[in-house]
Amino acid sequence: MKSFKTSLLFLLILLIGTSNLLAQVKPIFENGEAQIIPELKDSSNWIRTDLWVETEFDTDGDGRMDRMHVDVTRPLQTETEGLKLPVVYASSPYYAGTAGNAPIFWDVKHELGEPAKPRNKTEVVRTGKRPIISNSEIMNWVPRGYIVVHSSSPGTGLSQGSPTVGGDNESLAPKAVIEWLTGKDNGYTTPDGNEKVMAFWSTGKVGMTGTSYNGTLPLAAATTGVKGLEAIIPIAPNTSYYHYYRSNGLVRSPGGYLGEDIDVLYDFIHSGDESKRAYNNKTVRDTEMAQGLDRITGDYNDFWAGRDYLNDMEPMKAALLMSHGFNDWNVMPEHSYRIYDAARAKGIPAKIYYHQNGHGGPPPFSMMNQWFTKYLHGVDNGVEEGPKAYIVRERDEQSNPTAYADFPNPAASDVNFYLSPGAPEAGSMGLEKKTTAKQETLVDNYSFTGSALAQADYTEHRLLYLSPVLTESIHISGIPKITVKLASNKPAANLSVWLVSLPWTEGRNTKITDNIITRGWADPQNHASIRKGEPLVPGTFYEVTFDLQPDDQIIPAGQQIGLMIFSSDAEYTLLPKPGTELTIDLDGTVLTLPVVGGKGVVEKAVK
């Protein structure tokens, strides 16, 4: 009888164990997307942990490898049931606060080629005893069967080291965290102790996402080729600090931040250990940055090349879903396209989502969900197949993009537009090249904004060339280009170009796409080389060729496309005293637009 009872008890234990195994929480998928799991919805059952991951660099000069502060949020079942899940990881320099509105920008009102007066510097007051980690990723992904990890960038919050704003340590820091997530024993319970902690709950599959600087860091990590980083979704990322703070040799500010530069951003984010700041400031801001950023010439150099992620893409293999706004004049749309184009050329699974608004704006959540479901959970949902580009049309919601085979639209081809005189009113722009032997001159004056110049009927401070009124819409898709043949009466001059849709409209119903189509800036001194400008010989003509910002926009019937050429842009460039004269040779100037349907469509629309 005792033997029978023992056997019965053993059988009962076995059945209970089997039942527990069968009841273990598992991810749920429908239509190729991870669904909310009822057992994971209750946030009171989530485990939140702070730890530090050791890196392979020492950037704060204390003789020890820097450790990054990491925050983990995971379901209770990863502790009680042995549940292993993939990771959605976000990193940021902003979690512990910033310099806010401190007056630390450069003074932009000075002559070109002359140094600005020294700017103000500041120290960030850290927010709270620990960084305020964003909850948005946690609320989106933990209930759907992911673990969410955050880390502060080097020299910010409770992370050790120094900010470098695009330096190697900002790539190696998330790399170290991902290595920990894939099994490396470089995790510690404290910033300085020896007690180890392992990521036993991770499947070793990691995806990264974030917006702006937080969108740059997924790309930074991906360029290391780190094992385990399967997919990234950068949103409005800065992919080159040269392209952010310079443009074709020109010192140019990001929109809304006139006078910002890379050393300003350093001050803005430096929220790390106060005792290390003097060393960091001297080593990074006041030496490396001071010697490399070059606000005098604006030339591309090795300092900037080392902060351009396009130069580091060889090891990259993470599947890329890129997101950006065509009217983002802060981190401009070229940032995403240049990386998408390179990833596509490398054969990396890649798609791009563009909307028509400004800075930020993720892809539809369903698209993000499918991307992570495919590459982190391994569900064969076909997300990598089909159209490569998703573009929100002008009057549509951001959640409702239109699918296209790719961007630029494969049906687009280049159409050249040539100029005819009309200054100081508006000249014309057409498809036929005519020999006019005409030159027209504008006088620089930054006190007139670009929007004011575009609306002026008569002014000497810009040159404006208009297409005929469109009788049918024209779909621009790709990268407009311009060649301007010009002479200056001074050795240095700003060159700004706007492509506008006229008549200009204002009022509460005006859309961000209604007036400005795209823009571009260049330094004529860099007409031959982005790395080496040369003073202009007054009165001598030079050909300056450069790209405008990528765009995909439908210009409706009834509008005119206007090419506006001017000098200093009050919102973006350095602002020398008014009076510089630029003379444009119309025969040597041509605008090239990528138009869906090509020249035939334009000919029909301008009849």
Q: Is 507 within a domain?
A: yes
pLDDT on residue 242: 98
Q: Is 21 within a domain?
A: no
Contacts of 48 (CB under 8 A, 6+ apart): 71, 72, 73
Q: Is 212 a catalytic residue?
A: yes
Encode 202-259 in three state secondary structure: EEEEEEEEEECHHHHHHHHHHCCCCCCEEEEEEECCCCEHHHHHEECCEEECCCCCCC
Buried b (16+ CB within 10 A) or exposed e, 30-48: eeebbeebebbeeeeebee
Q: Is 7 within a domain?
A: no
Does 469 lie in the same domain as 341?
no
pLDDT in tens, 299-310: 999 999 999 999
Q: Is 1 within a domain?
A: no
Q: Is 4 within a domain?
A: no
* Residue 17 in this model has a pLDDT that exceeds 60: no
Does 514 lie in the same domain as 583?
yes
Q: Which of 386, 404, 422 is the last residue of a domain?
A: 404
Q: Is 20 within a domain?
A: no
Does 538 lie in the same domain as 497?
yes
Q: Which of 404, 437, 471 is the last residue of a domain?
A: 404
Does 469 lie in the same domain as 364?
no
Contacts of 222 (CB under 8 A, 6+ apart): 208, 229, 232, 316, 317, 318, 320
pLDDT in tens, 530-588: 999 999 999 999 999 999 999 999 999 999 999 999 999 999 999 999 999 999 999 99
Mean pLDDT confidence for 35-61? 97
Find the catalytic residue in 66, 71, 267, 328.
328
Find the catalytic residue in 152, 159, 162, 212.
212
What is the number of domains present in the chain?
Answer: 2
pLDDT on residue 384: 96
Does 357 lie in the same domain as 437?
no
Contacts of 470 (CB under 8 A, 6+ apart): 555, 556, 557, 558, 559, 560, 561, 605, 606
Does 448 lie in the same domain as 346?
no
In 3D space, the residue among 118, 105, 114 whose CA is nearest the CA of residue 262 turns out to be 105
Q: How confident is the model at residue 128 (pLDDT cuts 50, 70, 90)?
A: confident
State the pTM of this model.
0.94
Does 212 lie in the same domain as 152?
yes
> Distance between CA 75 and CA 473 in Å, rounded?
53
The domain that holds 308 is classified in CATH as 3.40.50.1820
Mean pLDDT confidence for 372-381? 98
pLDDT on residue 12: 40
More confident residue, 607 or 554: 554
* Residue 9 in this model has a pLDDT that exceeds 80: no
> Distance between CA 534 and CA 461 in Å, rounded?
25
Q: Which of 382, 404, 426 is the last residue of a domain?
A: 404
> Distance between CA 588 and CA 418 in Å, rounded?
9
pLDDT in tens, 583-594: 999 999 999 999
pLDDT on residue 130: 84
Q: Is 23 within a domain?
A: no
Q: Is 529 a catalytic residue?
A: no
In 3D space, the residue among 439, 442, 548 whose CA is nearest the CA of residue 497 turns out to be 548
DSSP string over 44-71:
GGEEEEEEEEE-S---SSSSS--EEEEE
Find the catalytic residue in 270, 324, 359, 527.
359
> Distance between CA 546 and CA 483 in Å, rounded?
7
Q: Is 549 within a domain?
A: yes
In the structure encoding, which two tokens stand for residue 303, read together? Answer: 């300092």
pLDDT in tens, 168-210: 999 999 999 999 999 999 999 999 999 999 999 999 999 999 9
Structural domain span for residue 351: 45-404
In 3D space, the residue among 127, 153, 121, 150 whose CA is nearest the CA of residue 55 turns out to be 153
pLDDT on residue 270: 98
φ/ψ of 312, rounded to 5, equals -115, 15
Does 260 lie in the same domain as 365?
yes
416: number of Cβ within 10 Å? 16
Does 197 lie in the same domain as 163?
yes
Does 497 lie in the same domain as 376?
no
pLDDT on residue 591: 98
Does 163 lie in the same domain as 140?
yes
The domain that holds 473 is classified in CATH as 2.60.120.260
Q: Is 328 a catalytic residue?
A: yes
Does 424 lie in the same domain as 336?
no
